């Protein structure tokens, strides 16, 4: 099959390099190997995550103890506060959740789990990471330009975001927008690679229903991303022109419309939630199946509900705008579609819970993370119903209730999901086992404070506290001592949680160099990545041993077998 993109130059280049070790820069920074690119995404994402967490620390300190000089930052001015919350949100979603969950796990797992030697377009893959890196650098640079970083919230509603006169951060907001747009381009390139690879490059014998769920989810997420981001890219170009050359796309006095941006943003923004959710669900499903030693409860059910969720997610976007000035009649339509989306999501969670039934559950660290995902995401899911119902949303919109709700969804997705996947595939990535005790200490040290951060925020939200206010002293009803004690509980819990992350980093580096050797298949799992060396060499498998697939990925506890697992590549 030669009718594919073949790169002659790469051949020649590769021919030169073939027999001696390339310079480490070429090997680690200029590599086209999907595993190296995955690591680049993973560590860039982690680095950005640390920056995002630092921002959270600074503004939580300001909220709990207004006016103090925050250790490691100094006094927080209102402008800095706005910039911190804006960039915290943008970083956590665009530069942490997406690169880690989709790009890092996607790049690492797709070729390994479908039995291919690399992505189909390795050089586009590298380009994708490079654009992503540039976007991250631009974003970080935007924090230090004159006027400071952009402070108009991650939703970037015009006219505030469009006019320097309004946001006082002319350059910062343009750079922010540029960074986001470049990040979109990076993920479009990456997404095309993921989709094409999964569609075309599966190992012989691997049919559509033999693909591990995590890959389906990553690819469905990529498709959702590709189909939803287009209008926002167009909208971002328009906003960029508004900012830089003073056009009037979002200026009501010149025939534009500020509501338009909200629609374009959320037409992308809501599917985006599922773009990051689905890979996390996929990781969880795979981990649960492995450690419960169970076939997942209804493979097709999970797949179809995921697709249904994806399709429905295009019909619900305006529930972010119920009271934002859209026509009130439209709100009824979007209430109905929004509540309907709870059905497939509930079904996904039911299926995950039902998978536990009849299993033989081993509570390893990855399994704890997977179970925590379900338990915590349920809270995020049920509180979403309040916000999707237009009547209740009149009160809850833009309060801390919303904030606590989406942290209860994004935290399980981006943090719990990442730790789940990372601890599960760590042996494959680095060839050594992570320390289980340290892993469990880190787990409990993260999960317990997490709840103590956000449950007080639910209460504050119900008390009418609005978001994005840097100091509550101007609102007598919010400045009471009981309100402050709730804020302080949240902040102190955050400090405890951040402190426990040190355990994770210690565990990671220690296990990386000193951990117990993992072997090929430490978890006794079925999928193809466990059939090669840990870590896999270049090309993943020796060319003459490319795997062939004989069955689905979740054949655990099969009655015909003595062992409780049945790898995909073993002939019957």
Choose one: 92-100, 420-428, 500-508, 552-560; the region binding another protein (CB under 8 A).
552-560
Residue with tokens 């509501």: 259
Distance separating alpha carbons of residues 511 and 500, to the nearest angstrom: 17
Smallest distance from another protein to CB 517, Å = 24
Does residue 359 sit in helix, strand or coil? Answer: coil
Report the site for another protein in 95-114 (rule: CB under 8 A): 111
170 part of the interface to another protein, by CB under 8 A = no
Choose one: 99-107, 427-435, 438-446, 458-466; the region binding another protein (CB under 8 A).
458-466
| Residues 6 or more apart in contact with residue 323 via CB below 8 angstroms | 393, 394, 397
Report the site for another protein in 352-391 (rule: CB under 8 A): 353-354, 356-363, 371, 374-375, 378-379, 382-383, 385-386, 389-391
The mark string for 238-277 relative to another protein (x by CB under 8 A, - otherwise) is x--x---xxxxx--xxxxxxxxx--xx--x----------
197 part of the interface to another protein, by CB under 8 A = yes
Report the site for another protein in 415-454 (rule: CB under 8 A): none
Distance separating alpha carbons of residues 491 and 496, to the nearest angstrom: 9
Angle (nearest 5°) at CA 359 between 354 and 363 = 100
Choose one: 37-45, 326-334, 406-414, 428-436; the region binding another protein (CB under 8 A).
326-334
Residue 75 or 437: the one with the smaller Cβ distance to another protein is: 75
Choose one: 52-60, 95-103, 292-300, 502-510; the region binding another protein (CB under 8 A).
292-300
Q: Which among 394, 396, 392 has a CA at the least distance from the CA of 323?
A: 394
Does residue 517 sit in helix, strand or coil? Answer: strand
Smallest distance from another protein to CB 556, Å = 6
Residue with tokens 């790049």: 107
Phi-psi region of 428 (alpha: psi -120 to 50; beta: other; left: phi over 0): alpha
Distance separating alpha carbons of residues 67 and 295, to the nearest angstrom: 55
127 part of the interface to another protein, by CB under 8 A = no
Smallest distance from another protein to CB 211, Å = 10
Q: Which of 328, 485, 509, 517 binds another protein (CB under 8 A)?
A: 328
237 part of the interface to another protein, by CB under 8 A = yes
Report the site for another protein in 129-148 (rule: CB under 8 A): none
Q: Which among 492, 476, 490, 471 has a CA at the least distance from the CA of 67?
A: 471
Q: Are 456 and 486 in contact (CB under 8 A)?
A: yes
532 part of the interface to another protein, by CB under 8 A = no
**Token digits of residue 544:** 């003459």
**Token digits of residue 399:** 């309060």
Report the site for another protein in 6-65 (rule: CB under 8 A): 6-8, 10-11, 14-15, 17-18
69 part of the interface to another protein, by CB under 8 A = no
Q: Are 434 and 478 in contact (CB under 8 A)?
A: no
Residue 328 or 517: the one with the smaller Cβ distance to another protein is: 328
């Amino acid at each position: 099959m030669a009718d594919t993109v073949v790169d002659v130059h790469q051949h020649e280049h590769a021919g030169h390099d073939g027999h001696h070790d390339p310079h480490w820069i070429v090997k680690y920074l200029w590599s086209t190997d999907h595993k190296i690119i995955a690591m680049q995404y993973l560590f860039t994402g982690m680095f950005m995550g640390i920056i995002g967490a630092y921002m959270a620390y600074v503004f939580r300190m300001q909220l709990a103890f207004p006016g103090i000089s925050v250790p490691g930052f100094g006094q927080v001015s209102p402008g800095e506060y706005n910039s911190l919350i804006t960039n915290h949100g943008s970083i956590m979603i665009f530069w942490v959740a997406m690169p880690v969950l989709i790009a890092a796990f996607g790049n690492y797992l797709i070729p390994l789990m479908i039995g291919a030697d690399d992505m189909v377009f390795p050089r586009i893959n590298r380009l994708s990471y490079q654009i992503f890196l540039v976007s991250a650098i631009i974003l970080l640079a935007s924090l230090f330009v004159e006027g400071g970083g952009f402070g108009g919230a991650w939703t970037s509603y015009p006219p505030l975001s469009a006019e320097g006169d309004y946001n006082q951060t002319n350059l910062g907001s343009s750079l922010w927008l540029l960074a986001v747009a470049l990040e979109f381009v990076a993920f479009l390139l990456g997404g095309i690679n993921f989709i094409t690879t999964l569609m075309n490059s599966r190992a012989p014998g691997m049919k559509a229903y033999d693909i591990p769920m995590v890959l389906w989810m990553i690819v469905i997420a990529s498709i959702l991303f590709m189909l939803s981001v287009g209008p926002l890219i167009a909208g971002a170009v328009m906003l960029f022109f508004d900012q830089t050359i003073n056009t009037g796309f979002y200026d009501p006095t010149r025939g534009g419309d500020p509501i338009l941006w909200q629609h374009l943003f959320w037409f992308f923004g809501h599917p985006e939630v599922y773009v990051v959710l689905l890979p996390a669900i996929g990781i969880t499903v795979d981990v649960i199946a492995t450690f419960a030693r169970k076939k997942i409860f209804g493979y097709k059910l999970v797949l179809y509900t995921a697709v249904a969720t994806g399709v429905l997610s295009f019909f619900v976007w305006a529930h972010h705008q119920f009271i934002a000035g859209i026509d009130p009649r439209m709100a009824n339509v979007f209430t109905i579609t929004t509540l309907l989306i709870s059905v497939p999501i509930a079904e996904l969670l039911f299926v995950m819970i039902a998978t536990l039934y009849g299993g033989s559950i081993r509570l390893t660290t990855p399994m704890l993370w997977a179970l925590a995902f379900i338990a915590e995401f349920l809270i995020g899911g049920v509180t979403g119903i309040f916000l999707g119902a237009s009547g209740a949303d009149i009160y809850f919109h833009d309060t801390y209730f919303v904030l606590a709700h989406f942290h209860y969804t994004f935290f399980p997705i981006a943090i719990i999901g990442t730790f789940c996947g990372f601890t599960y595939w760590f042996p494959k990535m680095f060839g050594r086992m992570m320390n289980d005790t340290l892993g469990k200490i880190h787990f409990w040290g993260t999960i317990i404070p997490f709840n103590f951060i956000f449950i007080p925020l639910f209460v504050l939200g119900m008390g009418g506290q609005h978001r994005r206010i840097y100091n509550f002293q101007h609102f007598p009803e919010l400045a009471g001592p009981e309100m402050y004690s709730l804020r302080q509980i949240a902040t102190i819990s955050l400090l405890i949680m951040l402190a426990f992350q040190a355990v994770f980093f210690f565990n990671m580096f220690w296990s990386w160099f000193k951990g117990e050797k993992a072997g090929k298949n430490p978890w006794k799992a079925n999928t193809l990545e466990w059939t090669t060396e840990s870590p896999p060499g270049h090309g993943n498998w020796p060319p003459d041993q490319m795997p062939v697939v004989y069955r689905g990925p979740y054949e655990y506890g099969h009655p015909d077998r003595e062992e409780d697992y049945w790898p995909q590549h073993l002939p019957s």
